[in-house]
Amino acid sequence: MKARDRSASARLPLLAFLAVLAMLGVSDDAFSQQTAPTSAEQGRWVTAGTYALSGFAQNPTREKTYRGAGREKARISIYLPAMTMLYGVGNTVTLNGRQYVDARTQSGIPVSVLLSQISSGDVTALSNRDVVVHQGHDACIYSEDECIGEDEVPKGSSFTIRSETRSRIILENAWGLVVSYTQREFDDLERAGFLTRLQNRIHPRWRIIEGYALPISITCGAELPGGGSTKFEIDAARYEAGPETWAPNDEAWTIKAFELLDLGRVEKVGSNYVATLSEAMPSTDDVNSGQPVAYDFSVFAYKDTDRAEQYKFASILSIMSCEEFTRFTENKPSYVKRLFAYYDVDNDATYPLDEIEFEAQLSETARSELFDRLDRSFFFSINSAQQYRAVFENVTDRLRDPSAASFLISRTNASCAETDREWCSSVDQEVLYSD
């Protein structure tokens, strides 16, 4: 279902890739609707950087294309820098003698965070809470209406907006430090995850519902024929009811993937929607020596509550490496070889969506080494604050939305356990992501 013309190079990379051989709240159930937004004053915050366990739901069905999905809540999903805001802080769970609380970040990501790593009070305990700073950075120190030099704004600090014009914003903290940014500088820092503006915004800002496109997520050695012989259909009334009514593995997510990613034709036939696959999905990756691969499609409905918009859709496609775990078993998915996001970059609500392929943080050799430690699928593995900053900056260079970037990283990252983290952070990396 095309709504705009695209060149061959701009089409879904899966189909181009196969010819030569897919942001962002979620409740405890990762696929159900997020609770109604709360005000910024009810949020708590991460007092220092910490690693969070995944709050996404287990999905054993997804194990066939994404290893570890059936034990999702044991995965360390993301590093949370200082002043990450947490909303809906709820259930307390004790794991290995340590207390964790379930919450949702300002980006709508479900997490379980060590209780000892978050504030005891809510945001009203901060005397300066218009802007919070997650990562240290240099800024203009302001005095007597002029910049008198640059100094570091420390992570974990918070500010009041003292004044603001169309070109400049001036902040002041509780100790009288005044810093100044151009609006362009401020916007770039917020986009890159260095700070967040809370003033006059609804938080948590993003509401996200996730689904798994089960029928087209094919495991190692499987394939789907094209040419009109592979079809999927769903009751039209069920599809039109919208994502808040769709179960996690509902075929509605598959039909939506066809629309978003230009996988084939979608049409209404009688009381059903029918999707027809246009090109085959083979079981091997001819670009990489014909090795077997698996395809894992996630589809997301999201909306920005700060703008009161309707749900929009995005997708993540993970092309998985496959490994033979024993001589007597079939190949199973291991780490992610290639990662694509499909997102409404132009904000014009037309399909197919723009495609973005992400640069690998680690070589395939390093990913294989880490997989042996983690025993779960992943594309990113963030094991230090420096790695988090490098990965986040690189992802937002391609996906210019901090909430979408946070969601993508949290869904495809797997950090090592605390005892292994130093070793894991030293695994050979490409220059772009080095500490």
Specify if 380 maps to a domain: yes
Main-chain dihedrals φ then ψ at residue 151, nearest 5 degrees: -150, 170
The verdict on 174 and 238 lying in the same domain is no
Residues 6+ apart with CB under 8 A from 313: 243, 256, 260, 299, 300, 301, 302, 344, 353
Q: Say whether both 212 and 339 belong to one domain.
A: yes
The model carries a pTM of 0.85
Structural domain includes residue 379: yes
**Overall domain count for the chain:** 2
Q: Which amino acid is at 17?
A: F
Same domain (yes/no): 172, 261: no
**Please, what is the end-to-end C-alpha distance for the chain in angstroms?**
44
In a domain, 77, yes or no: no
Provide the pLDDT for residue 327: 58
User: How many Cβ atoms are within 10 Å of 35's Cβ, its own excluded?
Assistant: 15
214 belongs to a structural domain:
yes
Residue 83 lies in a domain: no
| Predicted local distance difference test score (pLDDT) of residue 202 | 77
Residues 218 and 286 in one domain: yes
Q: Which domain does 15 fall in, by range?
A: 8-32+206-433
**pLDDT of amino acid 84:** 95
**pLDDT computed for residue 303 by the predictor:** 85
148 and 222 housed in the same domain: no
Tell me the three-class secondary structure of 161-176, residue by residue: EEEECCCEEEEECCCC
Q: How many CB atoms lie within 10 A of CB 259?
A: 20
pLDDT value at residue 295: 94
* Residues 223 and 154 reside in one and the same domain: no
Answer whether residue 329 is part of any domain.
yes
Q: Are residues 275 and 225 in the same domain?
A: yes
Q: Are 424 and 301 contained in the same domain?
A: yes
Task: Give dist(CA 311, CA 327) in Å, integer.
Answer: 47
Task: Report pLDDT for 3.
Answer: 35
Query: Is the same domain home to 330 and 400?
Result: yes
Region class of 168: left (phi > 0), else alpha (psi between -120 and 50), else beta: beta
- The reply to whether 153 falls in a domain is yes
Consecutive 10-residue averages of pLDDT for the chain (435 residues) = 36 36 31 38 88 94 95 94 92 89 90 95 86 94 87 93 94 92 95 91 82 94 83 94 94 95 92 91 63 92 80 94 71 93 87 93 92 94 93 91 92 94 83 47
Burial pattern 409-419, b for ≥16 Cβ within 10 A else e, equals bbbbbbbbeee
244 and 384 in a common domain:
yes
What pLDDT, on a 0 to 100 scale, did the predictor assign at position 136? Answer: 93
Residues 164 and 210 in one domain: no
CATH number assigned to the domain comprising residue 154: 2.30.30
The answer to whether residues 170 and 225 belong to one domain is no
Provide DSSP, 67-94: TTGGGGGGSEEEEE-TT-EEES---EEE
Q: Give the pLDDT of residue 350.
A: 86
Q: Between vectors from CA 84 to CA 81 and to CA 90, what angle results, nearest 5°?
A: 125
Task: Show Cβ contacts of residue 105 under 8 Å, excluding neighbours closer than 6 positions.
Answer: 80, 84, 85, 86, 87, 111, 204, 406
Is residue 53 in a domain? Answer: no
